Structure formats: structure tokens, C-alpha cells
Structure 1
């Protein structure tokens, strides 16, 4: 999955001391971060490489940024619906480790986002936190698998699965177990996902597109026993996006006929889409087929105006002619906007349509960046 790649770069850059979480006055727009210069000394995603597991489930500190990105749609026994997002971001402060006398010294910073959509309760919860990778406050390891930020964590056994996700903010918590359903798929060109035509503007990227999930969701003292499916995206890179890119629309859809579709559209400032936009079509046996920009047609049907500023797409017509697929994608809640360091929309969606003349439905997650009102414009109104 794409994510707010440049936020950690800009916030932490060459800081010698880990920062505190930014408040609303320090929030930055995506357009301001897109001009960030590349950093020398870090590894770059230039060509396809072999993936080795379980090692690649763990951290890649030679790259500047990486993330473990979980989303999922769940139900309890009475049919009450929930969506969740739990993301761990790692960012290096410098290409080389620095010797520091203090035990608080760290070369890595972790940021976490946790969000829960209570669909039938018409509520959305979101939280953000930061910590340095020191004194066991945050970190990542491959075997046994674990990535953590204080008491938020994703953990697994020596063979990685099942994974356990634990996170919460106040009275809103999740405790979930994810089993491996389908095998992982490599995104882009054998796992090299190019984000623009510039050499090195790319990530190494793989996904688990269907992870059977069960566990508990807790809201305001009420516990719900839930089950459903999750999706895990893993990426690591160093590069910034191209300066003419405005943001992206990312779709991760799980269809009821056991196919999955991922597609991200990289939007240009002139209103067009970057040729690097791409996705994957995953069959029931786990085979993935690369989708390029021209393989997918995307049309916005409705929009939603955020009370915090900015206008987002709020319903889409998505077609993949090569699969004889036509879908309508609709948010399950209008306001699933994370009001964090950079505001962005990420939420649970409902999917319905037709494939090869037959009705089809499903669920998924959508991420939208670059639509929120710029901080500079907000300041002009003060």
C-alpha cells in the first residue's frame, strides 16, 4: 500500500533528538512534502531483488522508511460491522548508526496510526503516536516476528502466522488473530513497485491480500467478538514521490468470489494520472497479475466535503475490462478521515457490481491523500 511516505522524512529528517507528536499547528500538507530532496547514503529500490522469508517480514534499516500496514473488515455474531487500520512506520534519522552515550539515543523513529470504523454505530476513532527505537519503546524483528510501538504491536510465531494485532486508544481497542489464507503476492515488477519515471522512485512491496481474522473489538466498555478478513501491505524505500504528483487513490478490495483487486492511482497536479499507477489482480489460487494504469478505468461518482477542510471522492465506478469486471465502490461511513500529522482519508468500503455478467460483491479499504486543505490556506483565513 502507498502511505504518507514523506511525512516521517520531513518531520524527522536529520533531527538529533526524537520529536514529540506534532499538534494541529504543525500539521503539513502533502503538497509541501512532495518537494523534499532525496537523502544520500540510504539504499534505494532500483531493480528487482530476491525476497527471503522470514527475514523480509522484519526491518530494513538500510532504507529510510518502511511500513507494516494492516486493514480489515469484520463482523460480530449479530452482524454488526467494523473496519480497522493499524499501521507501523519506521524512519531512519541517518544512513549510519550513531554512537550515543545515552540509552535514550536512537537512530530509528516509529510512528503508528490506529483507526476503527464502527459502521452500524456510525462512529470513527483514530489515534497517532510516536516513539524512538530505544529502551524497548519501539522496534521490529523478523523471527519471531514482532513490530511494536509501546503497547501497540503485531506479533507472530517463528513461522510468522498466526499474527496477533493489539492496539487501542482510550476505550477503543482491538485484539485480533490473523491466519495466513492466500500466499503473499509481489507487487509491481517482481516486488519492485515504481512510483514515477525517475530512477529509484520505487519501493519493494509485497502483500497478503486475504488473511482470515478473528478476535475482539472493544468500544466504551462493550466487547464484540468478531471475524472477517484482513489485508497486509509491506513496503520499504528511500525515495520521495515526483514533484508533479498531487496524491493518490489506493484501493484494496476483497471480492466474494475469492478474487482480490489492488489498484493505486497516482494523481498529477494537472489533474491527470501518472503512468506509474498500477495494481494487481489476485485469483482464488493466489496467482497475481500485474495491472497497469491503462488496464483500469476509474470514475468518481460522488464527493464528500470534510468539516476540517477539503473535498474527497466518496463513490467510484471501477472497471477492469480485461477481467470483464465493473464495480461500484462506496464508503461504509462518509467521515473516515484521520486528523493526524497529515490529514488523509482511509476507510472501509462496500463493493458491488458484475463480473462476466454475474453479480458480485465484496468489501475493502480505500486510502485518499492530497485532498485535504493545505495548512497555508488555513492560515490565510485566520
Structure 2
């Protein structure tokens, strides 16, 4: 089912499958990602990443996603954002079953954002029947008519060039993504720790995309250019049971430096901070958990919830002290698992653009 409210048999079946799949997880939202995951593969340090194979699915793990966010602008300088996400989740461990008995459920989210408008859509599909999936090589990720695929001369180390398409009743996105540098392993060489109790994911990004193409909002086409960021993660238990959600930033800094930073919130009010600083040549260094901070500075009332949409980010050892503001404070994804996701700007010691995602509110 998309945000337009149109219901198809496939969307209904997908929604029912998602309910059956997630159970308590669905009710708890992102906090449910901390449930036990017996029978699924474990994330351990020291994994050798192999491309293009690791661009494809890892069905032995419970949860996985292919996630692109783009900071865009039109010829007049007006800011826009675009999101394209494909999620995979396994209903149970074990080898794949055939056809409709396949235990993999796929969920797609897409959105476009301007200063005054936020449009989003959601769709579900079952694995095993061709409605959704990921292939590599050649690289192709799809759910229904939404598609992200490698173009001619696709380079598995750069995950580029790519063509990205999504459409709904009130918006569409068609972008080309190019990159001249290799992807980046996040965390400790791709092992991204989420807690001190063993929760972790495998995580890599392509933060160096240049984007060009067209978005359409309410039948109004806009030609856009900008930068984009892909995140790839897979895990079987990415949160601990007492972690309620996260606040995640991807920031494009001056001089083509990049920063990925997030805090994981706990039920007792404590938080864990993780991130990586990425140099223009693609070297990635973990951010120390101590001495750095992400602090809310302003909130907005959205869908009956109070969310911190403006932030202060401080990394003293890197000389970074910035204030972030959203392009559109109302960038709420009212999907089955609701969350906030939208483009941001920042000023201070560094000025630039990026994306913010907040879950579990």
C-alpha cells in the first residue's frame, strides 16, 4: 500500500505478511530489532568483503537493507531530498522455500522532500515469486516497478554508475548516480558495533555519489543535481533489547570529507555514539564514543509526536562544532514502521548538507 491509499491484492498480502512476520517487532517498531535471533547467522569481526557478491542478498541473516538518500537542488538553488530504500527480512531461519512459501519478505520505501512538501510511499512483496529481490552480478535491486540497477561499465568497487527509479500517485524519482571513488567500510573494517553486548552489523557505504536527474512532485517535474549516499547493512540482531531507536546523520563536509554519525538510545536514558570520519581519498576512521556529542536543540510536533529536528553535533578532536536544521521539519515517514527521514543543512565550524534519520519516537 502506498501513501496514496491505493490497495492492491499484492499490497494487502504484503501487509498481512509483514504483520505475521514481525509480530511483537511490528508492534514495537524499531525497538523490536533487539529481539533474539536464534538460528540466523551471527555478525563477527574480520569478515572479508567480496564484491560484487556482497552487493546481493544475505538470506542467512535476519535483516538487510539497500538505502540511498540524495541531497538535490534545482537550477534556482532550491533544496530537495530523495530517498530509495529496499528492506529484506526473513520470517524464519533456514534454507529458502519455493514460491509463496519463501520466508523472505521485502519492503520498499521511497520519498521526495522540498521545503514545503514531503511525499512518501511504501510497498510490500513476498520473496520467491519475482516481485522483489536483489541480484549481483549484474547488480539490480527491485520491488514492483521501483528499481536500482547498475548501468553499462558498472564498477562493483564504486557501486556505480546506477540508475534509480521510484514512483507513486503523487511523486516520482529518476536519478543517475556516478562515483569516482571506491565504497567505504564503516565501523571497524565493515564490522559496525551497536552495543557492548555483541549486537553488530556488517556495514559499508558509498558516500561519494554525484546525482543528476528529475523528480516529480504533484505532477510538477523538476530537474535536479546534487550528491547522494548509499548505506548497505545486514545483521540478525542490530539492536540490544534495551535500545529503543537511533538518530543517524550522513554529512557532506567541505573539501569532500564525509561524516557518518549516530547515537543509539536506551530505555534508561543512556546512549551509545558511533560513527566514521571519511577523508576525500576514502580512508575511514572510527569516531571515539567518548568526548563527542549529538544534542537536540529544537523539536517539532509531528503526527502527535514530539521529535528533535534540529541538533548540535560536536567532535572536538576533529574541530567540528555544527548546528543542523531540516529542509522540512515535517519529513515524517508515516509507514508501517514510522520514522523521520529528510535532508538537512548545517553551519558552524563546517557548512554543508546531509540527511537525518530518527527512529523509535
TM-score of the superposition, structure 2-length normalised? 0.88
Q: CA deviation at 1:40?
A: 2.2
Q: CA deviation at 1:257?
A: 2.4
State the match for 1:218 in structure 2.
Answer: 216
Q: For the structure 1 residues 42 and 215, does the alpha-carbon distance in structure 2 shift closer, same or farther, using more than 3 Å as the test? A: same
Q: Which of 114, 130, 153 is the matching residue for 2:124? A: 130
Superposed CA offset, 1:213-263 (max 9, x none): 001111222211111000000001101511221211101110232111111
Superposed CA offset, 1:29-67 (max 9, x none): 43762563x232211102221111111111111111110
Q: For the structure 1 residues 212 and 314, does the alpha-carbon distance in structure 2 shift closer, same or farther, using more than 3 Å as the test? A: same
2:275 corresponds to 1:285: no
How far, CA to CA, are the matches of 2:342 and 2:169 in structure 1? 20
State the match for 1:85 in structure 2.
Answer: 83
State the match for 2:182 in structure 1.
Answer: 183
How far, CA to CA, are the matches of 1:188 and 1:31 in structure 2? 21
Give SS of 1:95's match.
coil
Q: CA deviation at 1:151?
A: 0.5
Q: For the structure 1 residues 147 and 205, does the alpha-carbon distance in structure 2 shift closer, same or farther, using more than 3 Å as the test? A: same
Q: CA deviation at 1:181?
A: 3.6
Q: For the structure 1 residues 206 and 104, does the alpha-carbon distance in structure 2 shift closer, same or farther, using more than 3 Å as the test? A: same
Q: For the structure 1 residues 43 and 85, does the alpha-carbon distance in structure 2 shift closer, same or farther, using more than 3 Å as the test? A: same
Q: CA deviation at 1:323?
A: 1.1
Q: For the structure 1 residues 76 and 49, does the alpha-carbon distance in structure 2 shift closer, same or farther, using more than 3 Å as the test? A: same
Aligned length: 339
Query: Are the counterparts in 2 of residues 296 and 320 from structure 1 also a CA contact under 8 Å?
Result: yes
Q: Which of 95, 113, 121 is the matching residue for 1:117? A: 113
Superposed CA offset, 1:325-372 (max 9, x none): 111111111101111112211111001111xxxxx311000111122x
How far, CA to CA, are the matches of 2:254 and 2:171 in structure 1? 29
Q: CA deviation at 1:295?
A: 4.4
How far, CA to CA, are the matches of 2:63 and 2:33 in structure 1? 15
State the match for 1:203 in structure 2.
Answer: 201
Q: For the structure 1 residues 150 and 231, does the alpha-carbon distance in structure 2 shift closer, same or farther, using more than 3 Å as the test? A: same
How far, CA to CA, are the matches of 2:351 and 2:96 in structure 1? 52
How far, CA to CA, are the matches of 1:262 and 1:251 in structure 2? 6
Write out aligned runs for 1:58-69 (5 A): 58-69=56-67
Write out aligned runs for 1:209-288 (5 A): 209-274=207-272, 277-288=273-284
State the match for 2:356 in structure 1.
Answer: 366
Structure 2: gaps (5+ residues)? 1-12
Q: CA deviation at 1:69?
A: 0.7
Q: For the structure 1 residues 349 and 284, does the alpha-carbon distance in structure 2 shift closer, same or farther, using more than 3 Å as the test? A: same
TM-score of the superposition, structure 1-length normalised? 0.84
Query: Which deviates the most, 90-99 or 58-67?
Result: 90-99
2:324 corresponds to 1:329: yes
State the match for 2:8 in structure 1.
Answer: none
Q: Which of 49, 53, 56 is the matching residue for 2:54? A: 56
Query: Which deviates the most, 317-326 or 296-305?
Result: 296-305
Structure 1: gaps (5+ residues)? 1-15, 355-359, 372-382
Q: For the structure 1 residues 208 and 111, does the alpha-carbon distance in structure 2 shift closer, same or farther, using more than 3 Å as the test? A: same
For the aligned residue pairs, the C-alpha RMSD in angstroms reads 2.1
2:140 corresponds to 1:146: yes
